[in-house]
A = this chain, B = another copy of it.
Amino acid sequence: MSTWFQHGQAVDAMPLDSRALHYGDGLFETIAIRAGKARLWALHVERLRSGCERLGIEAPDEDGLSKQLEHALRSSTVDTQYALAKIIVSAGSGRRGYQRPADGSAELLIGIFEAVPPDAELLRHGVVTHSCETIVAVQPALAGIKSLNRLEQVLARKEWQDPEVFEGLMCDADGQLICGTMSNVFVIHGGSVSTPALDRCGVAGVMRRHVLDTLSANGVTVAVCDIAWDRFLSADAVFLTNSQFGVLPVRACDEQQWQVGSLSRKILSLMAQAGIEECAA
């Protein structure tokens, strides 16, 4: 179940001249709603505004955005104790063609969705992943941005039907690990933690940011760097991050298997203390 809002009004359709529909000309955030509040709100706003700036789309101001989200949460029929909000910013409406209209202003859509916590078994034993054949294309102009151009992720997600496979991991054309279809990836070698650099492609997740900040504040350094697929396979442990589930250990990728080690447990514990309730074992 979901409900949608625009300009403080419930809506059930969007105009046919929206640039989001025609070109994917826009971006979005998916925000965990816990006890009626937006989790990691400041990080979501920061990424949304930075993405708008890079795409040349008028960025919604934080105060107005916050008020509209609060209104949507109050008005939605979804139980906001544990839910998900999706904010879509479209580059606006108007004329056909790639050129944005000079007088076009951004359009904001807010959807409130039902959500369920991840299965506690996944936290204890880790998730199974698949190595995707679909690559992430190198495009520095869009790298890091959660844009509405997500066909690569759709094609990657089509690669498996096995319900036991939780996520697919994607590389660029050079075989560097980039991200999951809906998550970011961290790898552990001994006491070292690293995560792929996302300056050429990939989506820079808000939970990835929160993990980087939290670990840094707790004296755990994370290297943000290129990680070749072989280096990934040789890891001692692997975990995924995502705004909804927080952190989940990975126990397999195709034939490769991992244990949930003590450093992973420590990181989960730090993230639980940093407000990510799903990480509390």
Query: Residues of A within 8 Å of B, CB-based: how many?
Result: 56
Given contacts A96-B113, A100-B158, A158-B56, contact A21 B23 (CB under 8 A): no
Query: Whole-angstrom distance between the alpha carbons of A135 and B137 in the complex?
Result: 11
- Supposing A2-B96, A98-B156 touch, asked if A151 and B24 sit within 8 A by C-beta, the answer is yes
Stretch at the interface among A9-17, A70-78, A208-216, A220-228: A9-17
Copies of this chain, count: 2
Would B16 and A154 count as touching, CB distance under 8 A?
A: no
A142 within 8 A of B: yes
A91 within 8 A of B: yes
4 cross-chain pairs, A with B, having the tightest CB-CB distances, nearest first: A24-B24, A13-B13, A137-B137, A137-B139
A residues touching B (Cβ–Cβ < 8 Å)?
Answer: 2, 4, 11-25, 28, 55-56, 84, 86, 88, 91, 96-100, 109, 111, 113, 134-135, 137-142, 147-158, 173, 181-182, 201
Give me 14 A-to-B residue pairs in the complex whose CB atoms sit less than 8 angstroms apart, sorted by A's number. A12-B15, A13-B16, A14-B14, A21-B88, A22-B28, A24-B148, A24-B149, A25-B151, A96-B113, A97-B182, A100-B158, A137-B142, A141-B152, A142-B152
Other A-B contacts than A55-B151, A135-B139, 17 sampled, CB-CB below 8 A, are: A13-B13, A13-B14, A14-B16, A19-B154, A22-B28, A22-B88, A23-B151, A24-B149, A24-B150, A25-B154, A84-B96, A98-B181, A100-B154, A100-B158, A139-B152, A142-B151, A149-B150
